Amino acid sequence: MAAPPPPALTDALLALAVAAAEAAGRVLLERYGHATGVGAKTSVTDPVSDADRASEALLVDRLLAERPDDGLLGEEGADRPSGS
């Protein structure tokens, strides 16, 4: 079994995730109640808005800026295999 990552790394990853999530949350709050570009992804019961896409894009940008070799999978379509 692999050794767990060092606490400094897990602390840094958590801080990055929290900061990115808070920033994405601000994007969603700014657009709450007046999102534009609302459509369906896979069916009429699977809506997506420009706010959804913008918040995911912000998350992807923030995470990849700090962790360019990491993979990610987003609800709105972001899909990047891991190189780390």
Question: pLDDT of 12-48, one tens digit each?
Answer: 999 999 999 999 999 999 999 887 788 888 888 888 8
What is the Cα–Cα distance from 51 to 84, expressed in whole angstroms? 30
- Taking the whole predicted model, whether its pTM rises above 0.85 is answered as no
For the chain, which residues make up each domain, given as ranges?
A: 38-67
The percent of residues above 90 in pLDDT, for the chain, comes to 54
Task: Report pLDDT for 25.
Answer: 97
Cβ-based neighbours of 49, under 8 Å, separated by 6 or more: 31, 35, 36, 37, 38, 39
The percent of residues above 70 in pLDDT, for the chain, comes to 99
Phi/psi at 12 (nearest 5 deg)? Answer: -65, -40
Task: Report pLDDT for 45.
Answer: 81
Higher pLDDT: 73 or 11? It is 11
